[in-house]
């Protein structure tokens, strides 16, 4: 008897497994909607945040709200991109349901992946320009003795005299620059001032402010404690933001894959026979 050739074997040799045009269309649509939602979210953020301490939402509420917005934004934009990737792909004739379901899910996942890569590239371009401008301006700023540093605020607290009118201001910029370097190197290496650096800082405070040695040491300890608390708060905020972003990416990938199966089912006219929907319809 002649060997029987199945229809699936004939079909799969002529029809590509991935419709890249549909994947690209879904990715571009997802990225465009993400930009729109980001603009909307930025506007809402400025509306609810206030520079005054007695108005606006708290920092904790803002952090949680931002994380939830990231998740909702990922769900909406990824679902749209995945749906378009599944709905616009080429129809596969002769394939069984599980294989079609897998390919539709793969189309949604690929659309999400392409949108994520494009989004990262769009964000990396302005970041690179900003870094390049900063590096080019650093050579000019190095010639100035009054450079801006994150530690300037802490040094201001250390060197604030109780009676400024009676204090000589000779070489004040040199003293401030020295203190900034001392704080920066100490916190970078050990997250605290070494015993020798702490004693030296107290002596500089005494010389600049006229405080007693005991009061100067207390001021140094207070400023060091405040600096450590602020850096720890910044570290936790960055950690929480990274966690929220990671969670939103995972949820976005799932939504894109699932929406692609919905769009593919409507494309093939098999929406009612979806594995997640058939038991409910047949009741």
Q: How does pLDDT run across 101-114, given as a tens digit for each residue? A: 888 999 999 999 99
- Which helix (H) or strand (E) element contains residue 240? helix 213-268
Of 36-45, 171-180, 241-250, where does mean pLDDT reach its minimum?
Answer: 171-180
- The band of 179, judged by pLDDT with boundaries at 50, 70 and 90, is confident
Q: What pLDDT score does 78 carry?
A: 94
Structure tokens of 211?
């405080």
- What is the Cα–Cα distance from 147 to 130, expressed in whole angstroms? 18
Query: Could you tell me what percent of the chain has a pLDDT over 70?
Result: 68
CA 105 distance to own-chain centroid: 26
Q: What is the pLDDT of residue 202?
A: 85
Regarding predicted confidence, which is higher, 186 or 144? 186
pLDDT value for 247? 94
**What is the CB neighbour count within 10 angstroms for residue 22?**
23
Task: Indicate the pLDDT class of residue 148, thresholds 50, 70 and 90.
Answer: low
The CA radius of gyration of the chain, in Å to the nearest whole number, is: 30
CA–CA distances in Å: residue 282 to residues 96, 165, 261: 20, 89, 20
Q: Is 144 left (phi over 0), alpha (psi -120 to 50) or beta?
A: beta
Report how far residue 239's alpha carbon sits from residue 233's, in angstroms, rounded to the nearest whole number: 10
Cβ-contact 269, 91 below 8 angstroms: no
Judged by average pLDDT, the poorest of 20-24, 36-40, 206-210 is 206-210
* Averaged pLDDT for residues 91-110: 85
Q: Please report how many Cα atoms fall inside a 13 Å half-sphere around the Cα of residue 68, on the Cβ side.
A: 7
Res. 126: pLDDT tops 60: no
In sequence order, what are the residues at sequence separation of 6 or more whose Cβ sits closer than 8 angstroms to the Cβ of residue 169?
none
- What integer pLDDT is reported at residue 1 of this predicted model? 42
pLDDT in tens, 55-81: 667 778 878 888 899 999 999 999 999
pLDDT of amino acid 53 = 59
Which CA distances in Å does 236 have to 45, 60, 195, 242?
20, 11, 27, 10
Q: What is the spatial distance between Cα 111 and Cα 256, in angstroms, rounded to a whole number?
A: 7
Q: How far apart are CA 282 and CA 271, in angstroms?
A: 13
**Torsion angles phi and psi, residue 221, rounded to 5:** -60, -40
Nearest to 244 by CA among 56, 116, 74: 74
Q: Is the pLDDT of residue 246 over 50?
A: yes
Predicted confidence band of residue 264 (pLDDT cuts 50, 70, 90): confident
pLDDT at res. 8:
45
Element (H, E) at 184: helix 172-190
DSSP state of 242: H
CB 259 within 8 A of CB 110: no
pLDDT tens-digit series, residues 151-170: 766 776 677 655 544 444 45
Neighbouring C-beta atoms of residue 125, cutoff 10 Å: 10
Confidence label for 275 from pLDDT (cuts 50, 70 and 90):
low
Share of the chain above pLDDT 90, in %: 20
Q: Each residue of 60-75: b (16+ CB within 10 Å) or e?
A: eeebeeebebbbebbb
């Amino acid at each position: 008897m002649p060997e029987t050739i199945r229809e699936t074997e004939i079909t799969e040799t002529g029809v590509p497994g991935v419709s890249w045009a549909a994947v690209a269309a879904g990715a571009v649509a997802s990225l465009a909607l993400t930009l729109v939602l980001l603009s909307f979210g930025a506007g809402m953020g400025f509306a609810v945040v206030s520079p005054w301490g007695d108005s606006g939402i708290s920092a904790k509420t803002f952090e949680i709200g931002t994380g939830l917005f990231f998740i909702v934004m990922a769900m909406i934009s990824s679902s749209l991109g995945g749906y378009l990737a599944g709905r616009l792909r080429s129809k596969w004739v002769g394939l069984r349901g599980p294989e079609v379901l897998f390919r539709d899910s793969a189309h949604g996942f690929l659309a999400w992946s392409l949108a994520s890569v494009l989004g990262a590239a769009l964000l990396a371009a302005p970041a690179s320009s900003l870094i390049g401008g900063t590096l080019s301006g650093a050579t000019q700023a190095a010639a100035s003795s009054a450079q801006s540093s994150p530690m300037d605020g802490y040094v201001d607290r250390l060197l604030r005299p109780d009676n400024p009118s009676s204090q000589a201001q000779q070489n004040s910029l040199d003293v401030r620059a020295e203190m900034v370097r001392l704080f920066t190197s100490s916190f970078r290496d050990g997250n605290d001032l070494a015993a020798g650096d702490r004693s030296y800082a107290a002596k500089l405070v005494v010389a600049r402010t006229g405080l007693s040695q005991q009061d100067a040491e207390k001021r140094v300890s207070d400023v060091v404690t405040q600096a450590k608390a602020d850096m720890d708060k910044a570290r936790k905020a960055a950690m929480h933001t990274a966690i929220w972003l990671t969670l939103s990416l995972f949820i976005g990938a799932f939504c894109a894959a699932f929406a692609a199966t919905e769009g593919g089912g409507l494309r093939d006219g098999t929406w009612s026979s979806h594995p997640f929907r058939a038991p409910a319809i047949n009741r």
